[in-house]
Amino acid sequence: MTEEEVGAAVPKEQRQGWGQFLKSIATFSGDLSSMTAPSFILSPVSLTEYPSYWCEHPEEFAAIAQGKDQIERMTLVLKWFIGTLKGQYTARNTSMGSEKKPLNPVLGELFLGKWPEKGSRGETTLVSEQVSHHPPVTAYHIENAKAGVSLEGHNAQKTSFSGRTIQVKQVGHAILRVKPQGSSEEELYLLTLPNLLIEGLWYGSPYVELSGSSYIQSSAGLTATVNYAGKGYFSGKAHSFKATIGSGSNALYTIEGEWVGTSKFKGKSPSGKKDEVFWDASTPREELEVQAIDSQGPMESRNIWKHVADGIRSGDYEAASKDKSRIENEQRQKRKDEAAAGTPHQLEYFVHLDDDKEYAELAAHFGGKPANEDGYRRKPRA
Ligand SMILES: CC(C)CCC[C@@H](C)[C@H]1CC[C@H]2[C@@H]3[C@@H](O)C=C4C[C@@H](O)CC[C@]4(C)[C@H]3CC[C@]12C
C-alpha cells in the first residue's frame, strides 16, 4: 500500500504509522487487543465498560416483565435488544469521531455501576469482570430486581482480516431472565451476538457494520431472528436490519429499518396500525452512574487505567504508554507469583461453566450454533 492510499482522516504525520498498522493487521492472526495501534486510534475506555451498553435504556429493560403474554414479552425483548445496538456499535464514532481500540482489560478488572431508581422503574445494577486476559473474555450481570429482569453473559472476539475489512466473530452469549408480572415462573431468553465488520480502515476512519444473523430464543418457544445488512442490501442504507418474531415457520411480526435510526413493523403490527414505529434510535441513551475514581477499589477499571486514560485524552501518549507498560509488567509478575505459590487467580463475581446447559437447551431451537458453549454465572450473594 502506498502512503497516498492511506485515508485523508489520518493526520499527515501519522499516515505512515497507519499504513504500517494496516499492513500488520493484514498478516496478523489472533487477538487484535494485543496489537500495538497508532496513538490516534486508542480509546481511553476499557472493554470491561462495554457491557453497560446493554442497559442504556433502563426503562425498556424493566418494561419486558410487564408484557401481558409471551408474544408481547418477546416483542419487548427484541425492542430492548435493537435499542442497545446504536450504543454498542456506534458510540465511539459519536463521542470520539471513529471506532477506537479499547484498553485491553487486566485479569480480574471490574466495572461496577448502576442506573438509579426513577419513577417506578427500580434500580438497575451492573457488574462486569474480566474473567480471562488471554484470550480476553468479559463476563457481566445486569439486574433490575424490582422489575424482575436480569441479564448474564460473556463476550470474547475472534478476528481475521479480509481485503479491506477486519472481520470480528463475537464469541459468547447472554441469557435474559424475566419474571413476568403476576407469574412465579421464570422465562429465559438466549441472545446470540452478531458478527462485526470493521470498515473504513483505508480511509483511516474505522466504523462498525453488523453482518449475518443473531437470534433471541425464548424458553416459551418463540424465536426472533435478526438479519443484518450494510449499504445496498435490504434498503440501500448502512446499519440496516430485518427481524422476524415467530414460532417454527409461523412468522408473527416482521420489523425492518436501521438500528441507528427508525425501524417499523412491516405488515401486521400489535396495534393493527400500518407502518407502526418499532424503535426510534434517537431515544436518548442514559449512561450509568459510577463511583468517583478516588473512592474506587484497586481492581476497578477507571482506577487501574486512570493515568493511561488521562494520557490518551490529553495527547500525552508517552505518559500513557509508560503507565500501560507498568500495569502490564505488574500483571506478569502477579501471574508468576500466583504460579509459584500455586494459588491461581480466583474470579470475584462469576463462576465459569465448561458447558452452559441453559445455553444448549435454548440453542437447540435454531440451527447453525455449536451444541455446547462455555458460560459464566454470577456467584450467589451472601
Ligand atoms: C479500530 C481498530 C482499527 C482496532 C480494532 C479494535 C477492536 C478490538 C474493537 C473495534 C470494535 C470493538 C467492538 C465494539 O464495536 C462493540 C462491541 C460490543 C460489546 O458488547 C462487546 C465488545 C465489542 C464486540 C467490541 C470488541 C472490540 C472491537 C472489535
Task: Tell me the pLDDT band of 22, cut-offs 50, 70 and 90.
Answer: confident
Outline where DSSP puts E strands in 31-84: 42-46
CA of 193 to the centre of ligand 1 (A): 13
Q: How high is the pLDDT of residue 19?
A: 85
* Cell numbers linked to 158: 475472534
The pick from 42, 167, 168 for probing ligand 1's pocket by mutation, whose C-beta has the most ligand atoms within 8 angstroms, reads 168
Least-confidence region, from 196-200, 201-205, 206-210, 283-287? 201-205
Q: How far apart are CA 32 and CA 168, in angstroms?
A: 10
pLDDT of 182 > 50? The answer is yes
Closest to 106 measured CA to CA, from 53, 33, 165: 33
Task: Tell me the pLDDT band of 21, cut-offs 50, 70 and 90.
Answer: confident
* Cell numbers linked to 178: 424475566
- The CATH number that domain 12-225 falls under is 1.10.287.2720
Give Cβ neighbours of residue 251 (< 8 Å, ≥ 6 apart): 244, 245
> Tens digits of per-residue pLDDT, 299-344?
999 999 999 999 999 999 999 999 999 999 999 999 999 999 999 9
> Tens digits of per-residue pLDDT, 219-271?
999 999 999 999 866 667 899 999 999 998 889 999 999 999 999 999 999 99
Q: How high is the pLDDT of residue 233?
A: 60
User: What's the whole-number average pLDDT of the chain?
Assistant: 93
Report the pLDDT averaged over residues 339-350.
98
Q: How high is the pLDDT of residue 2?
A: 53
Closest to 113 measured CA to CA, from 128, 92, 103: 128
Residues with CB under 6 A from ligand 1: 32-33, 37, 41, 50, 53, 88-89, 99-102, 155, 157, 168, 170, 196, 198, 206, 208
Q: How high is the pLDDT of residue 3?
A: 46
Q: In this prediction, does ipTM exceed 0.90?
A: yes
Partners of 291 in the β-ladder: none
Q: How far apart are CA 38 and CA 134, in angstroms?
A: 22
pLDDT of 8 > 70? The answer is no
Contact between residue 226 and residue 243 where contact means Cβ atoms under 8 Å apart: yes
Report the pLDDT averaged over residues 206-212.
96
pTM: 0.95
CA of 68 to the centre of ligand 1 (A): 36
Q: How high is the pLDDT of residue 7?
A: 64
**Cα 117 from chain centre:** 23
CA of 101 to the centre of ligand 1 (A): 7
Report the pLDDT averaged over residues 66-86.
97
Ligand 1 atom, smallest distance to 208 CA: 15
**Quick one: DSSP state of residue 126?**
E
More confident: 21 or 211: 211
Outline where DSSP puts E strands in the chain: 42-46, 101-103, 110-115, 124-132, 137-144, 149-162, 165-171, 174-178, 187-191, 195-199, 207-218, 223-229, 240-247, 250-258, 262-266, 277-280, 350-353, 375-378
Using a pLDDT cut of 70, give the percent of the chain over it.
Answer: 95
